[in-house]
Amino acid sequence: MTEAPKVYQTGTLTYTKGALAVLCIWLLWGDFCFQLMETIVPSIMPLKFKAMGASNTIMGLFITTIPGIINTICNPIISVKSDRYRSRWGRRIPFIIATMPFLLVCLLGLGFSDKIGFWLHAHFAGFLGRFSPTAVAIAIMGTCMTLFSFFNIFVNSVFWYLFNDVVPEQFLARFMSWFRMVSMGAMALYNLFVFKHADTHSAEILIGAGILYFVGFGVMCFNVKEGQYPPPPDYEDGQTGPLAAIKAYGRECLSSSHYWYLFLANVGIVIAYSASMFTIFLYQSLGLTLEMAGWLAFAFNCSGAVVIPISGWLADRYHPVRIVMVGAILQILACPIYMVWLFWQPSPQVVFYLYLALGICLGSPIAALIAVIDPALGMRIYPRERYGQFCSANSMLRSLGGIVAGVLVGVYLDILTARWGARTAYCCLPFWNLSAHCLMLFSIVKLYRSWKRYGGDDAYVPPIPGTLEGKNGSPVPAARESAS
């Protein structure tokens, strides 16, 4: 008698092994297209702004701070709306499909923004004559970047939740490790073959990214099917409307210090990341070419793709909170090594090979340990039934951190540049990273202690302030919540 094929289920969706493999292929293909677009824009726009003579503060404003403001305002709204949205096409994919044409237009605008600015200045001299052509070009770049950030937040808010809705739970951790490997592979290929042409062919690269995203990501959306969802739950006491939603959101997500520790750890990562846009200028100040920088990024992404499954296995075995804590400690210990350029000025070849060795031996393994904070640690800390809601709160607070950090890092570098010159200023970036990772380590240690109080390895129950509901509906004693 022939044995029936094994069937996997999540919600109302069922898969055979073959269907599950096809689902993962489409999701990973969509991620490849999305990550390429997400990698290209922040890597090229600093170069375009710099070519126009924009200051570090202006770059921080348009590339980090304004996108952070948009994310802070829009992400919670989009996330809650998506959680409660019901349609024949699902609750996630409609938000992605609806914004794809606008994102394509924005990417085309970014590609031609400098030319558009010069054209406008030449044809509307009576209105724009008081401004220089470069000032108009910078304003157009900033406008296109702002519009891109607005439409992109719809995708960034719901794409991550789609996995939790369509991938069976027992495969989520493995899928996320494949997801990270594909992301790093996409970035590695871009940095090796494309980034070295960013100075001379930025428009073509941005246009290509837009077309690939529109076609490739769109094909994924039409081949991934969401299941049927139960009606959205009522708010507490049967209340409805925006006020009830805001009250429930604030009470459940923001009133427990337990979750604030994880939020602040993520803020620390964002503060450190806000300086990453200036890494290319650090490389250039040390004599590296764009091709050398591309090779470094390629090597780091390849080594990261090798070690990320190991960090995922360690997180499953020893819990993500411990792995992130170890990563934060190692990062703090490693930061002073990168300050060597303040005291040593070797040839570009020596700089290249030393960066290569440090990145492969230290940078990539440490980054892989820290990377399990999102989403692996969140999946183990947040209440599963409210996962998207807590993710949006985390994203909102990360954005607030990015808003402040994006401007402050630009101001920090501009002050140092005025006092000691650009080379010294960019060589001081490790001081910025060190302070950010100290905040992260402090928060992770506090989270670890709180997690132990709530049950730790054997009996952890996520607290939900304002309710007696715990993980999988199990009760949470009121005294335990107050202890946090």
Looking up tokens 């069922």 gives 14
Identify whether residues 262 and 147 lie together within a single domain: no
Say whether both 287 and 164 belong to one domain. no
Contact between residue 261 and residue 397 where contact means Cβ atoms under 8 Å apart: no
Is 140 in the same domain as 280? no
- Clarify whether residues 198 and 315 are in a common domain: no
Query: Does 263 lie in the same domain as 158?
Result: no
CATH code, domain with 403? 1.20.1250.20
Record the pTM: 0.72
pLDDT, block means (10 residues), the chain with 484 residues? 73 90 92 89 90 87 86 85 86 92 95 92 84 92 95 89 80 73 82 85 93 94 90 64 75 90 95 88 91 89 86 84 96 93 92 94 92 83 78 86 86 92 92 95 97 91 65 38 32
Asked if residue 52 belongs to a domain, the reply is yes
In a domain, 462, yes or no: yes
Task: Indicate whether 234 belongs to any domain.
Answer: no
Domain-embedded: residue 231: no
Q: Please say which residue of 226, 256, 278 terminates a domain.
A: 226
242 falls within a domain: no
Same domain, 119 and 256: no
Are residue 161 and residue 275 in the same domain, yes or no?
Answer: no
Whether residue 81 is found in the same domain as residue 186: yes
Is residue 208, in this structure, part of any structural domain at all? yes
Task: Assess whether 200 and 349 both reside in one domain.
Answer: no
In this prediction, residue 240 carries a pLDDT of 61
pLDDT at position 272 is 92
Q: For the purposes of burial, counting CB atoms within 10 Å of the CB of 347, is it exposed (0-12), middle (13-18) or buried (19 or more)?
A: exposed
* 365-386 core/surface letters (b: 16 or more CB in 10 A; e: else): bbbbbbbbbbbbbbbbbbbeeb
pLDDT value for 158: 87
The whole-angstrom separation of Cα 467 and Cα 470 is 8
Q: Are residues 214 and 269 in the same domain?
A: no
- Decide: residue 199, CB within 10 A, 0-12 exposed, 13-18 middle, 19+ buried: middle
Sequence-distant contacts of 128-136: CB under 8 A, at least 24 apart:
134/52, 134/53
**CB neighbours of residue 8 within 10 Å:** 17
- Confidence at residue 283, expressed as pLDDT on a 0 to 100 scale: 92
Q: Return the pLDDT at 233.
A: 65
- Rounded Cα distance between 335 and 74, Å, is 34
pLDDT of 468:
40
Does residue 1 lie in a domain region?
no
Residue 378 confidence (pLDDT): 85
One domain, residues 200 and 336: no
Which of 161, 195, 226 corresponds to the end of one domain?
A: 226
Q: How many domains does the chain have?
A: 2
> Is 176 contained in some domain?
yes
The domain of 33 spans 8-226
- Same domain, residue pair 55 and 151: yes
What b/e readout covers 427-445, taking b as 16+ CB neighbours within 10 angstroms?
A: bbbbbbbbebbebbbebbb
Q: Spell out the SS3 assignment of the chain.
A: CCCCCCCEEECCEEECHHHHHHHHHHHHHHHHHHHHHHHHHHHHHHHHHHHCCCCHHHHHHHHHHHHHHHHHHHHHHHHHHHHHCCCCCCCCHHHHHHHHHHHHHHHHHHHHHHHHHHHHHHHCHHHHCCCCHHHHHHHHHHHHHHHHHHHHHHHHHHHHHHHHHHCCHHHHHHHHHHHHHHHHHHHHHHHHHCHHHCCCCHHHHHHHHHHHHHHHHHHHHHHCCCCCCCCCCCCHHHCCCHHHHHHHHHHHHHCCHHHHHHHHHHHHHHHHHCCHHHHHHHHHHCCCCHHHHHHHHHHHHHHHHHHHHHHHHHHHHHCHHHHHHHHHHHHHHHHHHHHHHHCCCCCHHHHHHHHHHHHHHHHHHHHHHHHCHHHHHHHHHCCHHHHHHHHHHHHHHHHHHHHHHHHHHHHHHHHHHHHHCHHHHHHCHHHHHHHHHHHHHHHHHHHHHHHHHCCHHHHCCCCCCCCCECHHHCECCHHHHHHC
Residue 390 structure tokens: 């807590």
Q: Count how many Cα atoms sit within 13 Å of the Cα of residue 263 in the half-sphere of its side chain.
A: 20
